[in-house]
Structures are given as structure tokens and as C-alpha cells.
Structure 1
């Protein structure tokens, strides 16, 4: 641990572990507040130019967007020859992955509570020129007041309006088809990922799946969106329409974050709860 970090924080137990780093619970020696510190070991990323660049930019990009209620806050950054330490807002509740695991199917009202906050976070990031690029349930936290916090900007990218990005980043079930295809892409990759999350919350299954990463990618590339009656029989017409707009293979027609927030299912608090005619 950095001496500068330990002069200001008392580092506690490990609470998480990723590919390159470990997350610890900490307490500020000045205020007593509980925070988290993400410690990244530099030697683990020095041979991967893409990951090295993303992680070196993570703190900078978080600082651009962490002033929003639904984005995880970043308080301090400490760096030495061996480690990069980021002091972050602590969230003590289960993340969205854990919630989906314990509650396989959400009601539309429950899904709306999550999606509204997630889209507010995404819209804010995009307005600051930041694309998250790895939106998935594991990166969506909740604080003790059940406020959603978008976290882990290790794969995030910065873009100017109209500028395209490149690089294969993301997670198989949630990655957009243009990324899988190796094409340049824009910030709407985040809309696709959020659409996958909404689909999973409502049905308990991913919209595009396979028995291996290769099969999942092939399914994503086909982008054959269906609503199996056994899973979506009671889903509202409004939420199905929103999913079609978010999981649209044609990026030009895919909704932006602002368009999602203006959709009736979002603005009406979860859309109509009445059944609608089945459309595959």
C-alpha cells in the first residue's frame, strides 16, 4: 500500500477482486467515513497496451462524470511505481448481478426503478463525452439508500461528438454487435448493453446466448431479437417497443440515452401493466 494512502485512510478487509486489482474497505482517518479503495498492480497490465491505457485513464474519466448521483464517486487517487490506488464511494448493498441471481425475474415496476437510474447515469456520461463500454449487472451497485451507482470505468473511452471509437471491449452477453464485428462504434454501445440488462431483468434469460463465447458472439451478430411467449406473455407493449429500440442492430436507428429517457415506458413509470398481443 502507498504510504500517502495510509496516512489518510485505514485500509481494512478485501471486499472484491478483479483481473488486475483488489478492492478494500477503508475508513478516512480524518472524517471516519467508510470508503473503498481499488488498488491496481501496474506490472499486471504493462504487457497489455489496451488495458494499460484504459486503466490509466479510468481515474481521469471517473473524475469527469462522478458528480452525478447515479455514478460512483471518486475522492482521491494515489500512484507510485507499483500501484494505482483509487479511493471510491463505498456501496454496501448487493450489486445488480446479485439481485438478478436472487430474484431471477423482475416486475416491470422493479425493472423501471433500475433502468431509469441506469439511463440517467449513461445519459450524464455521454453528455460529458464518456462511453462506459462495459455496462453489465456486475458494474451496477447500490448504496444503503438503494440509489444506483454505475461503477468500474476501466474499459471506458472518451469521445467527441460524432467521433467513433475502436477496440474490442465489453462482456460477451452484453457487447454490441458492431463491437463484435470489429467495426468502429459510438457511445450507443452502452444503450445496447442497457437493453440486454432490461431484457434479462424481465425474463431471466439473455436475448442472445450460446454455450461458448464464440456462440454468444455469433448470436449477438445475428441480433435476432425475439420475445418468447413463455417469458414475455404478460410484458407490456411499451417495454417491448423500448427493447426493440435499444437492441436495434442498425446503430443509426438505435435510440440514444436521451431518447430512451423520453420513451413512454420510462416517463410513465414502467408502462402499461396490461397484457398486450404477443408479437415474436
Structure 2
């Protein structure tokens, strides 16, 4: 789990203060803004244009598995390059220090995550139009991923991975958990490997029923993202998780409740319910979800959204 450190003073460590050439960029590394287990994100400044800022992601690759994850993240970002709702990869490089490899990814800088915004609003819930604007940006990013061939599942959609760009658009980040390996797991050894991947690379509060229990024999596909989008939409609307306590049984039993307040139209609440269908086949795909969102947006502007 990432810990955002935007407003926390920190003693100098790691790459702070260094001048580094990465691709065609020369950057001055500033302070740490987020950190995880084997990676750290720094604020960096363009050495030639002081007003240009970047996010520098520094990852330690101790083995082939972690190196492959980084390479996958870079490959996915390249395949989605230029999409307005995907964090832009500006440059990258690998450093070989002997025993380990290090990866440096220079990305566009976004100074807020959706979780920062949600946690700083207190009880100030979003109006429906604001909910739709945020969620539509996220769905546009997921649409771009699911339209690849084969479809790319993000598998770790959550408020922490949605960032607000300087252009005012919400952008999806962190593509190390992505997968195009959509399958039903039958053999015990395969299940064990997949359960380990799910435990390491997904977040319990957004994890779909078929990920919680592989014995359901459902195909693990891009539909896991639709479930996560339902959890995300619930969080944006009500500032809490749909499944309190992140309980496996709660998820498998579909045990959640739409709060009475704040009051949103049935278009929003029905979309949450559709996305949180236990069976992947019963969930809309991202094309259907986007169509519902667009219809709701148009209807709202015309003043005909049902309550």
C-alpha cells in the first residue's frame, strides 16, 4: 500500500537532491511524495525548464518477478500513451547495480489523488454531476485498457490510483498489477499461484467475488475491473467502502447497502448495483457502463434524470 507524503517533512534520503539523465530528460530530484515496499515516488524538476515538474518512480527489482512487473508496467503505459485519462510516461531507464536492478520512470506530475480529495472533504458529499465527471474520466481510462487486444485488466482500481492532472482531468496510474491472462483456474497448483498473485497485487476492498474464491470456477477476466468500478463509484458517492471490514463473506454474499443519504438518482444507484453483481457475466462490460454514464450525463443536462 502506498503512503502519500505530500505534506510530511522528511529527512533527505535515496535520490533526493541528485541530478539524473533519463532518456532525453535531465531532472533534479526533489522530495519524496509517496512510498511503498520496494518503490518510492519523488517530485522532480526539469533541469532546463524549472517550471516543469515530474513524478519520478524509483523501483528496486530484487528478482526476475519484480523486474518483469516493472517491464509490464512500462509496456502497458506505452500502449496507452497519449490517452488523456492515463498518467503519461515521459521517459524511463534501468540501472544495473550488480545484485539488483533499479527502474526509474519519469511520469507527468499530478499533485492530488482521489483518496486525498475524498478524505479532505469532511462531510461535503459530491453533487451528482461531480460524481459523474470523476467517474466518467476513470471509465474512459478503463475503456482504453479493455479495448486493447487482448483486453488489459488493471486489477487494482482504487481511489489511491486515480490522480488529478494539471489539466483538470482524472487519470489512472499504477499498472504493475495488470493482466491479459484471462482464464478459469482448475488445477490446485494453478490456483495457489493465482491466489498468491491476487493477495500481493490487488486490494481487498475492491476485490471481486471470483478473486476471493477461485473455487467458484469463474473466469478471472477484465470483469474484475467492473466490480472494482462499482466499489469505486460507491466510495465516491458515500465516502466509505461498500463492504465494511473488507470481509470475504460480505463480498461473496453481496452484503452491502445503498445509504439513504446523500440522495442520488436511480441512474447512479442502479449502475452501482449492476457493477456489483456477483456473477461476472451479469455485470455490464465497460462499453455498456460508459453508454449508461453518457445517457445519465445527457439526461441530467436536459433535466430528465429519474430520482
TM-score interval, normalised by the smaller of the two chains: 0.7 to 0.9
Tell me the residue number matched to 1:190: 225
Deviation at 1:186, TM superposition (A): 0.7
User: Structure 1 unaligned runs (5+)?
Assistant: none
Q: Specify whether residues 91 and 191 from structure 1 end up closer, same or farther in structure 2 by C-alpha distance, changes over 3 A only.
A: same
Quick one: higher RCO (CA 8 Å, sep 6+), 1 or 2? 1
1:78-136 superposed Cα distances (whole Å, 9 cap, x missing partner): 102231111111112x2100111122522211111101111001001111232111010
- By how many angstroms is 1:156 displaced? 1.2
Correspondence for 2:32: 14
CA distance in 2, matches of 1:22, 1:273: 47
Instruction: State the Cα distance separating 1:3 from its structure 2 match.
Output: 5.8
Match of 1:87 in 2: 106
**Change in CA separation of 1:102 and 1:4 when aligned onto 2, cut-off 3 Å:** closer
- In 2, the alpha carbon distance for the partners of 1:17 and 1:151 equals 14
**TM-score of the two chains, using structure 2 as the length reference:** 0.77
String of CA shifts for 1:214-270, please: whole Å, max 9, x gaps. Answer: xx22211212343233x35x2211111111111111111201111111113244358
Aligned to 1:53: 68
Secondary structure, counterpart of 2:281 in structure 1: coil
Matched, 1:176 2:208: yes
Q: Confirm or deny: 8 A CA contact 2:20 2:29 kept in the other structure.
A: no
Q: Distance in 2 between matches of 1:132 and 1:270?
A: 31
**Cα distance, 1:137 vs. partner?**
0.5
Q: Which residue is 2:240 aligned to?
A: 205
**Structure 1 residue 220 corresponds to structure 2 residue 239:** no
Of the three residues 28, 37, 40, the one matched with 2:59 is: 40
SS at match of 2:258: coil
- TM-score w.r.t. length of structure 1: 0.84
What stretches of structure 2 of length at least 5 have no aligned partner?
1-14, 185-193
